[in-house]
Structure 1
Amino acid sequence: MCAAPKQGQTLPAGVDTEKETVLTGQVVDGSGNPVAGAFVRLLDGTGEFTAEVVASATGDFRFFAAPGTWTLRALSSQGNGDVTVSPEGPGVHNQGVTVAK
C-alpha cells in the first residue's frame, strides 16, 4: 500500500532548507476556510504530472521539488484551483491554492 507523507506546515527534522526547495501551502475555499482531503497535484513547467498528495485536515500540503516553474492544482468536492509558482532556489516557498466550483 502506498501512502503520501504526513502533510503540514512543520517540516520534518533533517530537512536542510539551504539545499532543498520546498513548496508548501494550504488549500482553501472562496471564504478562506481550509479544504481537508483535497488532492493536490504538482505539475512541471510543461503541465506534466509529477506528484500528488492529499491535503491534511487543515488543508495543508507540501512537496519537495527543484527550482523552476510549477503548477499546484487542487481538486476537491468544493471545487478546483490552480496556481503557478516559480521558486528560483532552495528554501520554503509558501503558496496557497483557492478552490471554487
Structure 2
Amino acid sequence: MCGAPKQGGSLAGVDLSTQTVIQGSVWHDGTPVAGAYVRLLDSTDEFTAEVVTSPEGEFRFFAAPGNWTLRTLAPVGRAERAIEAEVGLNETTLAID
C-alpha cells in the first residue's frame, strides 16, 4: 500500500545537519485546515510529492536543498508559496484567503 506518512509529530532522531525538511501548516480564517492536500513542486513546477495535512493542519516533506513551491488544495480554497529550502528545518505557513 502506498501513502504519505502521518503528518506532524517530533523530528527527534532526524539529523538536521544533513537533512532538508520543509514543514509548516495550512490555515484559513485563523483555524488550521485538516485534510488539505499540500503539493511539493520543483523549480520547474514539476510535481514531486503530496501529503495530507494532520488534524492540526501540519505537513512535512523531506527534500533536497533548493527552490520549491508549496501548493495547497482544500475545500475552503487554495494557496501557494515559493520557498528556498536549505539543509536543516525550513518552516512556513500557507494561508488560504
Q: Same fold (TM over 0.5)?
A: yes
TM-score band, normalised by shorter chain:
over 0.9
Aligned to 1:22: 21
User: TM-score normalised to the size of structure 1?
Assistant: 0.91
- Shift >2 Å, 4+ stretches: none
Letter of the 1:38 counterpart: A
* CA-based RMSD: 1.1
Distance 1:7 1:91 in 2: 18
Identity, % of aligned pairs? 54
User: TM-score normalised to the size of structure 2?
Assistant: 0.94
Equivalent residues, number = 97
Structure 2 counterparts to residues 3-82 of structure 1, below 5 A: 3-11=3-11, 13-29=12-28, 31-82=29-80
Aligned to 1:95: 92
CA displacement 1:30-81 (0-9 Å, x = unmatched)? x221000000000001100000000000100000011110000010001000
Distance 1:81 1:58 in 2: 17
Q: Which sections of structure 1, spanning at least 5 residues, go unmatched?
A: none
Q: Hey, which of these two has a bigger chunk of strand by percent?
A: 2
Q: Which secondary structure does the structure 1 equivalent of 2:51 belong to? A: strand
- Aligned-residue offset at 1:9: 4.8
- Aligned-residue offset at 1:99: 1.5
Letter of the 1:91 counterpart: G
